[in-house]
Structure 1
């Protein structure tokens, strides 16, 4: 596991199967960590809304990995999010939302995740080099979506 999507272990790009296991996701989390709390929430909502309402903007204005990272930030602030395997990641903690500030974002996050992973005819799913990584990434994504689904209101 942890092999990059282009097939060479250790290459930059995607290095893990979690929603925050890529350079693009970490760059997004770093950006969030530099923002005040209110601006963090605004940026997360902006990314999720773009993916949800204008999926054609994926790869033009945002990348799928940003959407997955934004959804991970939302899930981290929702009940059950603390049990996700990547919940204790320092980068996610530094970019996180305050308890209660993710309320009402579960539904848009689910729709945004679905738009991001189906972009390009399902490129995200097909791009994993090994079947083991594809299965692990799918399981990781399923766990994220389950937390978001339970908190759709």
Structure 2
């Protein structure tokens, strides 16, 4: 059974993404993130599989962490995967990737079914707050960069 909680890296799916990114180069991570935000494929050499919104949340959090103000992501209560997140970190995401991340995380924010089916009602509000913080970091950067 899959494990979920309210932080951006608090799921088995997000953990799989972090493990994959730890094995990729920076350029491969950025390319894969682009694919995740556009809908797939999940793995660079794998078959096309639909992207899960938990991957979008984790990927957008990785992009947001690389930006000024990205430390807000680390303030979100989560289960604590500091080493895994550090190993999967991205650096210098371009404006196009930041915009893709923002568009993708806004689509997650609009998906009420995702919040209500993956978590119980009490955690749904905290999960929405997680998505809002990530979207806020990305939007703030886009507003100040152009």
TM-score, normalised to structure 2, is 0.78
Say whether 1:91 aligns with 2:70: no
Check the 8 A contact 1:48/1:112 in 2, yes or no.
Answer: yes
Query: Which contiguous aligned blocks of 4+ residues in structure 1 show a shift greater than 6 angstroms?
Result: none
Distance 1:118 1:16, change over 3 A: same
Residue 149 (structure 1) aligned to one of 131, 136, 139: 139
Distance 1:40 1:112, change over 3 A: same
- Kindly state the Cα deviation for residue 69 of structure 1 after the two structures are TM-superposed: 1.0
Deviates more, 1:102-111 or 1:67-76: 102-111
Provide, for residues 83-114 of structure 1, a one-character-per-residue CA deviation record: whole Å limited to 9, x for no partner: 2225972221111112xx21313221121112
- Kindly state the Cα deviation for residue 13 of structure 1 after the two structures are TM-superposed: 1.9
What is residue 100 of structure 2 aligned with on the other side?
Answer: 108
- Kindly state the Cα deviation for residue 117 of structure 1 after the two structures are TM-superposed: 4.5
The gaps in structure 2 that reach 5 residues or longer are: 41-48
The gaps in structure 1 that reach 5 residues or longer are: 1-11, 52-59
Which runs of structure 2 are paired with 1:1-153 in the superposition (5 Å)? 12-50=1-39, 60-84=49-73, 85=75, 89-98=82-91, 101-104=92-95, 105-119=97-111, 122-152=112-142, 153=145
- Kindly state the Cα deviation for residue 18 of structure 1 after the two structures are TM-superposed: 1.0
**RMSD, matched Cα:** 2.3
CA distance in 1, matches of 2:133, 2:8: 10
TM-score, normalised to structure 1, is 0.74
**SS of residue in 2 equivalent to 1:42:** helix
